[in-house]
Amino acid sequence: MSETHFGYRQVPLDEKQALVDDVFHKVARRYDLMNDLMSAGLHRVWKDALVTAINPPKGDQEFALLDVAGGTGDISFRTVTAGGFGTRATVADINAEMLAVGRQRAVERGLDHAVTFVDANAESLPFADKQFDAVSIAFGIRNVPRIDVALKDMHRTLKFGGRLLCLEFSNVDVPGLDALYELYSFNLVPAMGRAVAGDAEPYQYLVESIRRFPKPNAFADMMRDAGFARVSHRVMTGGIVALHSGWRL
């Protein structure tokens, strides 16, 4: 049986998803608070950059976003708020707890008319071909066991002329910042997880999975293999994250 990584652990490919699901099951209720704490609010800046790139139309023109591994709905809320009356978003996520938190947030923000939540696996999306103007996946792709399969399925659901935007942690390559980031990731992040969410283990997985994720150029090749054209990326905050882009042409 083929193997993959769950953080630094080598695990059978078919067992990774259950381990990932367990992580997000544990963190769902504290997910948004922990994002703010662990990134010192920076995840908001990175997500804003993603939404700017999605570029939803301001007018009544129809625009459909599919937000894969969309969790508690952040990217979708930001996109429908940035866009006009015609902008709609679908959050697709495999984890019922993350979706439940998202549905509640949508109601609280008065955005439930514009954002739909669907229980779905990124590797086999329950949507017809060529449905969406844009597909986003933020901090999600590294959790998916078969990244190549998920990329192909996201490509399938895009309309011609549609764009995939993938925000993911990357490699810090600024001297000085790299050592600081390493220290922060492997010491403070799990400790904050223990202190605030009562469990260090999910946060240890988080930092390990970031290190295991392919470098931006290797990921760009995976996007091209899945059929995306005009593939590009830009790094932000000294390489802590990268925003990848590819088009269905």
- Name the one residue in this structure whose structure tokens are 């049986």: 1
Beta-carbon contacts of 5 under 8 Å, excluding residues fewer than 6 positions away, are 11, 16, 209, 212
Is residue 145 within 8 A of residue 13, CB to CB? The reply is: yes
Decide: is 24 part of the binding site for ligand SAM (CB under 6 A).
Answer: yes
Decide: is 138 part of the binding site for ligand SAM (CB under 6 A).
Answer: yes
Decide: is 95 part of the binding site for ligand SAM (CB under 6 A).
Answer: yes
* Per-residue tokens: 215: 């470098």
Q: Which of 64, 14, 71 is nearest to 47 (CA)?
A: 71
Whole-angstrom Cα Rg for the chain: 17
Q: Which of 89, 122, 151, 210 binds ligand SAM (CB under 6 A)?
A: 122
65 backbone φψ class: left, alpha, beta (φ>0; ψ -120 to 50)? beta
CB of 177 to ligand SAM, least distance (A): 22
CB of 26 to ligand SAM, least distance (A): 11
Q: Which of 83, 140, 193, 202 binds ligand SAM (CB under 6 A)?
A: 140
Q: Which of 67, 70, 36 is nearest to 54 (CA)?
A: 67
Site for ligand SAM, residues 143 to 172, rule: CB under 6 A = 143-144
Q: Which of 94, 189, 207, 242 binds ligand SAM (CB under 6 A)?
A: 94
Closer residue to ligand SAM (CB): 61 or 98: 98
In terms of C-beta distances under 8 Å and separation of at least 24 residues, what long-range contacts does 106-111 make, across chains too? 106/73, 106/77, 109/77, 111/77, 111/80, 111/81
The span of 82-90, 118-126, 183-191, 230-238 binding ligand SAM (CB under 6 A) equals 118-126
Taking the C-alpha atoms of residue 5 and residue 50, their distance in angstroms, rounded to an integer, is 27
CB of 121 to ligand SAM, least distance (A): 5
Q: Which of 7, 93, 220, 222 binds ligand SAM (CB under 6 A)?
A: 93
Q: Which of 66, 98, 147, 240 binds ligand SAM (CB under 6 A)?
A: 98
**Residues of this chain that bind ligand SAM (CB under 6 A):** 17, 20, 24, 69-71, 74-75, 93-95, 98, 121-123, 138-140, 143-144
